[in-house]
């Protein structure tokens, strides 16, 4: 009983430590300018207002940055899952010389920080003529999300019994239908985990978006919001409102897909 109480208390402390910055950000976003720098500070605004959000949408290009981030992150997730699924399936189902060496080399590439490839990647996209395009961002994010996602899916594919695929093939299903209706549903938790990782990385990236994008209409949220700090007077209410709007899509995305992490274990060929 005491051990359970201690675990619950420790969990509550961790929850408070993790949730307090988010609570303070939301509280500041709802405060009028006079309350933001009030002494002593108040945790709950006396006169909550949406003025900071109104000015964020009316006086900045936040909606443009938001659309760009959604488009880039969504395209990155789709491309990364498509390529990593095919690669992971090939590494687990096809036997060829050097298969384990290829898998190890892919894992080795994940050891390098993304900043190490930004200069050669910029040279490459410049030669391809796609600098200052969303495509350049999608390809860059896919580049350093792919090794991790491939290894995550490789582990899930290895845990799926070959007998399920063989039974589907015997029943007349082709390789493509077998993968789509049997393998991928069983690997759904891995696909969702890879999608969450990819989405968060693409959504939050600042460095590649800063280097590869120069047009104001193509900037993503991290770069666009960073411009708010370059003003003569830093508007903390507006910045906190922007922080809330950046955080909400990530939370909503995770909330929308997390239930499939459990459902995916029993779906697909087992139910077939």
Cβ atoms within 10 Å of 222's Cβ, excluding its own: 18
Query: Angle of helix 51-59 relative to helix 236-257, nearest 10 degrees?
Result: 90
pTM of the entire structure?
Answer: 0.83
The residues spanned by each domain of the chain are: 1-49, 59-270
Q: Which of 131-150 are b and which e, b meaning 16 or more Cβ less than 10 Å from the residue's Cβ?
A: bebbebbbbbbbbbbbbbbb
- pLDDT at residue 203, as a whole number: 92
pLDDT under 70: residue ranges of the chain: 230-232, 259-272
Rounded CA-CA distance 257/234 in Å is: 36
- pLDDT at residue 72, as a whole number: 95
- pLDDT at residue 270, as a whole number: 44
Residues near 51 by beta carbon (within 8 Å), at least 6 away in sequence: 32, 237
Q: Is 264 exposed, middle or buried (0-12, 13-18, 19+ CB in 10 A)?
A: buried
DSSP structural state of residue 258: T
Residues composing the chain: 272
- pLDDT at residue 264, as a whole number: 46
Three-state SS at 98 = coil
Q: How is domain 59-270 classified at the architecture level of CATH?
A: Orthogonal Bundle (1.10)
221, 239 in Cβ contact below 8 A?
A: no
């Amino acid at each position: 009983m005491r051990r359970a109480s201690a675990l619950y208390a420790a969990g509550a402390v961790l929850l408070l430590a993790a949730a307090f910055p988010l609570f303070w950000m939301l509280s500041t976003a709802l405060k009028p300018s006079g309350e933001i720098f009030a002494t002593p500070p108040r945790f709950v605004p006396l006169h909550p207002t949406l003025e900071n959000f109104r000015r964020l949408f009316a006086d900045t290009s936040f909606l443009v940055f938001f659309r760009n981030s959604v488009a880039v992150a969504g395209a990155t997730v789709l491309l990364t899952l498509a390529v990593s699924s095919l690669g992971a399936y090939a590494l687990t189902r096809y036997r060829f010389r050097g298969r384990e060496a290829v898998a190890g080399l892919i894992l080795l590439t994940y050891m390098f920080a993304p900043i190490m490839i930004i200069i050669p990647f910029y040279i490459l996209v410049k030669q391809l003529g796609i600098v200052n395009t969303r495509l350049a961002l999608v390809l860059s994010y896919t580049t350093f999300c792919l090794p991790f996602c491939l290894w995550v899916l490789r582990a899930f594919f290895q845990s799926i019994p070959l007998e399920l695929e063989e039974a589907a093939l015997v029943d007349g299903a082709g390789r493509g239908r077998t993968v789509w209706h049997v393998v991928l549903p069983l690997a759904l938790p891995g696909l969702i985990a890879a999608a969450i990782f990819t989405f968060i990385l693409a959504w939050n990236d600042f460095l590649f978006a800063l280097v590869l994008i120069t047009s104001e209409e193509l900037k993503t949220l991290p770069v666009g919001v960073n411009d708010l700090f370059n003003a003569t007077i830093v508007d903390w209410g507006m910045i906190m409102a922007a922080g809330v709007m950046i955080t909400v899509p990530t939370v909503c995305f995770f909330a929308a897909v997390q239930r499939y992490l459990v459902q995916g274990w029993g779906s697909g060929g087992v139910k077939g």
